[in-house]
Amino acid sequence: MLLSLRFAKFCIEARARDSLLLPPYKGSCLRGALGHALQRVGCFCQSLGPARVPDPNACPYHYVFEPVAAKRDGGPSGLRQIPQPFILEPPLEEKTDYSPGDTLAFDFVLVGRAIRYLPYFLTAFELMGIQGIGKGKGRYQVTKMLRVSAAGIATDLNLRDLSLDGDGHEPTMLRDLEQIQPRPAPFIDVGLHFLTPTRLKFDRHLCDSPEFHVVFRNLARRLSLLSFFHCDGTWEERMSDAVKNAQAIRLVRNGLEWKDWRRYSNRQEKEMFLGGFTGHLGFHGELEPFWSHLLLGSYLHIGKGATFGLGKYEIKTSNSTAHNG
């Protein structure tokens, strides 16, 4: 399952043309603007009509923003929705006012088959700058489009190499991450630093101080769904032994704080008040079996709202820090 996961990370650098007024946490603002722009440039259904599109997943916009669980043998049962195959990573700065000429940069990650839709994303980000974002719809101009390696090295995208099959580069996979950040030996202590609000659920309730098994359950489910539906991976139904081992891991440090934030939902036409924790957690125990999950999660996020950039964390061990851009 984990071996099939593949993804690619990119960066957009822009310069404000007008005054921009953005919220302190910009993930929701950017995602909302991206949805409108991508629908304009990448929705086949608008011209064909929904009745004439036999597979919604064949439409770039619907596959990315409204993916439908394709019927496959051996998959999860009773699933209401599947994770969207992209992640926006807004700047962590809480700056809200940008004057003309100021710079703004944000990253985005495409997972599995969504990588082939990179040209649509790049066009949509250009269109967002023309239409304007934030309060007052301030405009920006894209100045750079970059590919970001697993080690965090950014290189200019060669637009001549772009095609609907990809961006001319091999996607990042687990083996690439483990070459950059090998499993610590011994691996009995780990710290997780949550950089953006993180929303983890256990037994249908949000957790404000999660034990390790809660972290693992959320990670395993998210990574499994991304792998199965977007990377042609297999579904691992039996997780009881892994969960039992995760329950033996002890929470030894808790430096979390709860952060409330809000977003406006165009679909529901109302403002939604949300929250999540940021800060540090420390765990002790036999952590070796969980390294791959933790490492992948530091690139692909954890919990609810990952497409807004929620659930971004870094790994801290006794002798290293995982590189995740």
The tens place of each residue's pLDDT in the chain, 325 residues long, gives 798 999 999 999 999 999 999 999 999 999 999 999 999 998 877 655 555 555 767 789 999 998 988 776 667 766 778 899 999 999 999 999 999 999 999 999 999 999 999 999 999 999 999 999 999 999 999 999 999 999 999 999 877 666 555 556 789 999 999 999 999 989 999 999 999 999 999 988 889 889 999 999 999 999 999 999 999 998 876 788 999 999 999 999 999 999 887 766 655 556 666 789 999 999 999 999 999 999 999 999 999 999 999 999 999 987 554 556 5
Supply the pLDDT for residue 239: 82
Residues of the chain with CATH 3.30.70.1900: 174-316
Q: Which residue has the tokens 């750079």?
A: 144
The predicted pLDDT at position 76 comes to: 77
Q: What is the pLDDT of residue 321?
A: 47
Helix and strand element counts for the chain (H, E): 8, 14
Amino acid at 48: L
**Taking Cα atoms as reference points, which of 167, 102, 159 lies closest to residue 134?**
102
Q: For domain 174-316, give the fold.
A: Alpha-Beta Plaits (3.30.70)
Complete DSSP assignment for 171-229: PEEHHHHHHHSPPPSS--EEEEEEEEEE-EEETTEEESS--HHHHHHHHHHHHHHHHHH
Rounded CA separation 37/32 (Å): 9
Distance CA 301, CA 312 (A): 5
- Characterize the bridge pairing of strands 97-98 and 20-21: antiparallel
Cβ count within 10 A of residue 33: 20
